[in-house]
Amino acid sequence: MGNKAVRVIKTTLAYIVMSISALSMIIPFIWMLSTALKDSGDIFKIPPVWIPRPVIWDNFVRAWTSLPFDVFTWNSFKIAILATLGTLISCSWAAYAFARLKFPYKDALFTIILATMMIPGQITMIPIFILMRAFGWYDTHYPIWVPHFFGSAFGTFLLRQFFLSLPEDLDDAARIDGCNPFQIYWRIYLPLSKPALATLAVLTFLGTWNNLLGPVIYLKSVEKFTLMIGLAFFQGQYVTDYSLLMAGSIISIVPIVVIYMVAQKYFVQGIALTGIKG
């Protein structure tokens, strides 16, 4: 067997393994869509019915109108966009400082920041809640998005790695032209950092959009609830309307899919490039 035949076999096996992996991830979404289009009595039939007969599109209408889903969706959008904006601003500032500026104990401070990633969120949950309540922010959206304007260890690390991959000659050329550090950051580093910024934006938006614990802790007024809390209404203590729950879940993932498709090019580049240099 020649080298060419071996390469063909290896490539074929790799594609088969990747196809099986992709199929295993797609099947739950197909089942979710199938359940959203079924009558409640057809969901648990044995053998399972993959293609609904009849197709009940009204489940989406009922899911949207049975609760103030428009209000929940707007709240989720507002919180996710503000949190994403705050993360990009604060983390890019900190990342540029740790990557290019010189100041005392820079490496030690960066190590401490990375060490905070090892602290479980359950440990800081109660102290942060007490602090937010002291600010008078209970039952408001502020505790959910304002902390993002103070940076995150992961976002700072991600952008710092990308900034380190850019040649320092760019800084020298900008200084010769009379740019100060902020102008170098704003005019040179940010335009060149679209892949890393898009990666961080997608990850932050996804995490904030799917956040359930934060809104459950801080919100009590229905008009301030997010979409994730709205989906929880379909799951009762004794009875769960799975058709409406799956329909609402599909509605909730549409914005995520759209955002990922728009930013997919930069997202893949950012994942590939942010670990180049340490």
* 8 A C-beta contact, residue 90 and residue 151: yes
Among 42-51, 72-81, 158-167, 267-276, the range scoring the smallest mean pLDDT is: 267-276
Tell me the pLDDT tens digit for each residue of 40-87.
Answer: 777 777 787 788 888 888 888 888 888 888 899 999 999 999 999 999
CB atoms inside a 10 Å sphere around CB 67: 20
Distance (Å, whole) CA 176 – CA 182: 15
> Helix (H) and strand (E) counts for the chain?
14, 0
Please enumerate, as own/partner, the contacts of 59-68 that have beta carbons within 8 Å and a separation of 24 or more.
Answer: 59/243, 59/244, 59/246, 59/247, 60/36, 60/247, 60/250, 60/251, 62/244, 62/247, 63/234, 63/244, 63/245, 63/247, 63/248, 63/251, 64/248, 64/251, 66/244, 67/230, 67/233, 68/222, 68/223, 68/230
Average pLDDT over residues 153-169: 90
Distance (Å, whole) CA 155 – CA 95: 8
- Three-state DSSP state, 50: coil
For residue 217, give the amino acid letter. I
pLDDT computed for residue 2 by the predictor: 64
- Taking 70 as the threshold, does the pLDDT of residue 181 lie above it? yes
Average pLDDT over residues 100-105: 90
Distance (Å, whole) CA 254 – CA 71: 16
- Which of 194, 204, 212 shows the shortest CA–CA distance to 256? 204
pLDDT computed for residue 269 by the predictor: 63
- pTM of the predicted protein model: 0.83
Pick the CATH number of 59-273 from 1.10.3720.10, 3.40.228.10, 1.20.58.220, 3.90.79.10: 1.10.3720.10
- Taking 50 as the threshold, does the pLDDT of residue 277 lie above it? no
* Domain residue spans of the chain: 1-56, 59-273
* Torsion angle in degrees (nearest 10) through CA of 200, 202, 204, 205: 150
Distance (Å, whole) CA 83 – CA 34: 33
* 8 A C-beta contact, residue 268 and residue 156: no
What φ, ψ does residue 151 adopt, rounded to 5°?
85, 170
For residue 259, give the amino acid letter. I
- Taking 50 as the threshold, does the pLDDT of residue 6 lie above it? yes
